[in-house]
Amino acid sequence: MRATVTAHSDYTIARIDDRVYGAFLEHLGRAIYTGIYEPDHPTADGDGMRGDVAQLVRDLRIPMVRYPGGNFVSAYNWEDGIGPRDQRPTRLDLAWHTSDSNQVGIHEFAAWCDTVNTQMMLAINLGSRGLDEARNFLEYVNGPTGSYWGDLRKKNGRADPFDVKLWCLGNEMDGPWQVGHKTAYEYGRLANEVAKTMRAFDKSLELIVCGSSHSNMPTYPDWEREVLEHTYDSVDHISLHMYFANREKNTANYLSLNEKLDRYIGTVASTINFVKSKKRSKRDVYISFDEWNVWYHSNKQDRAILDGNSGWPHAPRLLEDIYNFEDVLQVGLILNTFIRRSDVVKLACIAQLVNVIAPIMTDPKGQAWRQTIYYPYYFASIYGRGTALQLAVNTPGYDAEHGDNVGYVDISGVRNEEEGTVTFFAVNRHGSDSIDLEVSLEGFAAATVIDHQVMTHANLEAVNTAADQHNVAPRQGAGARVDGSSLSVRLPPYSYQMIRIKA
Catalytic residues: 172, 291
> Distance between CA 429 and CA 494 in Å, rounded?
5
β-strand partners of 168: 123, 208
> Distance between CA 424 and CA 413 in Å, rounded?
4
> Distance between CA 371 and CA 362 in Å, rounded?
10
CA distances from 137 to 24, 77, 133, 164 (A): 20, 10, 6, 11
8 Å CB contact between 398 and 248? no
> Which of these, 305, 322, 324, lies nearest to 313 by C-alpha position?
305
3 state SS of 97: coil
- Beta pairing, strands 166-169 & 206-210: parallel
> Which of these, 114, 3, 98, 104, lies nearest to 54 by C-alpha position?
114
8 Å CB contact between 361 and 34? no
Q: Which residues contact 270 (CB under 8 A, 6 or more apart)?
A: none
Query: Euclidean distance between the first and final Cα of the chain, in Å?
Result: 27
8 Å CB contact between 351 and 239? no
Neighbours of 33 (CB within 10 A): 21
Q: What is the DSSP letter of 73?
A: G
8 Å CB contact between 390 and 471? no
